[in-house]
Amino acid sequence: MPAIFHRRNPGKLFILLLLPASFLFAQAQQKQAGAHVAELMQSGANALHQGNTAEAERDFTKATVAAPHLADAFLGLGLVQLREGKPDAAEKSLAKALALNPKLQGVHMFLGIAKYQMNDAAAAGANLREEIRLQPKNAEALTWLGIVELGAGNPEKATEPLDEAAALDPKDPNILYLRGRAHSLVAQESYQSLYKLDPDSWRVHHALGESYSASGDSDKAIAEFLKALDKQPGNPDIYESLGNEYQKVSRFDDAIKAYEQELKFNPHNGIALYNLGKIQVERGDPKEGVPLLEEAVQAHAALGPTCYYLGLGLSKLGKNEESAKWMERSLQQNPSDFIKQGAYYELARVYQRLNRKQDSQHALDELKKLKDEEAAAAPSQP
């Protein structure tokens, strides 16, 4: 089990939650607290931020004595105790803060974390849900609720808060990992139940194929998709999965057949039209590929890559004006860096043929910029 789920060692995410202390203690500057208490609070917050927990605990303890009705002081003390691995003491400090100010920002969340550290998942979940009720957009509280439900063996209850957290903070790697973990566990449970119902059903074979595909074993994935088709020969989704897998191993003739079969059952499927058109353009048959990609655009396939391959096919047919238009449109969709690089490269050539030298140079400059960014982001070689 990853360290992040462990009640006694929740890992990096827990540490990150405790570091930004300044926003938690903004209320400590209340006039009634007095200058001395405010100074102790600020000193404690700074010490916590710097990792000096002994000094932070001393300052916050002094603040609770000097201002026993100040909820922020008990919140600060509870945070330090959590950081020091003292969940029992933290629970008492945070409970006191909650009693003094039930609406204090973060107190329900950190009390929930303390209870989770004390192996009381039910109580932890209740506190975290209350924090979320007070702050529906709190990604940290949503994430911790997901952690608690995962730790309690309830992945189906973890997916919703983790989905919401990912929507609020889509680039946080911890959230993305936890979200994927939760959905993966739910999927595994569903597949196990499905297998018990009928181990030789097309659904089981399709699910196994997808699992093999995700793990990179294309040969086994293809074998399972073919078994699924034996059971369900009119299912367009299986043909799409099969075509995708054939593409991964460069079996393009087989991929074409799979997508063509998919289109027999679902003639306006944008993904199948896109894949067929893309393969034809890449393999040097743009006359076949361009009409398919034009249909894919009408069927609302992903515009970035579809417009790019349509522009590429038109370029190969010598239709430079149209090619430039579609390449430009692909870039307007903010596609992947791979598509961006291909579009700028092709645009530089198309503009050159159109005698648009300034535009051609601009495209080359943008291509160079992307490649420089890619090189800078690549891990350094030892």
pLDDT digits (tens, 9 = 90+) for 159-188: 999 999 999 999 899 999 999 999 988 888
Q: Rounded to whole angstroms, how far apart are CA atoms 50 and 102? A: 28
Identify the DSSP state of 45: H
Q: What is the per-residue pLDDT for 9?
A: 43
Q: Note the pLDDT tens digit of each residue in 37-83.
A: 889 999 998 898 888 999 999 999 999 999 999 999 999 999 999 99
Would you call 8 helix, strand, or coil by DSSP?
A: coil
Residue type, 367: L
Average pLDDT, the chain: 89
Q: Which two tokens stand for residue 155?
A: 């992945």
pTM: 0.62
Residue 262 has pLDDT above 60, yes or no: yes
For 139, the 3-state DSSP assignment is helix
Show the domains of the chain with their CATH numbers.
Answer: 3-182 (1.25.40.10)
Token pair of 7, please?
């009640």
Confidence of residue 380 (pLDDT cuts 50, 70, 90): low
Which tokens is 21 given?
């202390």
Q: Which of 372, 381, 289, 295 is nearest to 337 (CA)?
A: 372
189: Cα within 13 Å, side-chain hemisphere: 10
Structure confidence at residue 381 (pLDDT): 52
Question: What is the DSSP secondary structure assignment for residue 24, as one 8-state letter?
Answer: G
pLDDT of 22 higher than 90: no
| Other CB atoms within 10 Å distance of the CB of residue 82 | 25
pLDDT tens, 213-253?
988 999 999 999 999 999 999 999 999 999 999 999 999 99
Q: Which long-range contacts (CB under 8 A, 24 or more apart) does 244-253 make?
A: 244/213, 244/275, 245/209, 245/213, 245/218, 245/221, 246/222, 247/275, 247/279, 248/213, 248/218, 249/218, 249/219, 249/222, 252/279, 252/283
**Burial code of 354-372, b = ≥16 C-beta within 10 A, e = fewer?**
eebeebbeebbebbeebee
Which tens digits make up the pLDDT trace of 305-355?
999 999 999 999 999 999 999 999 999 999 999 999 999 999 999 999 999
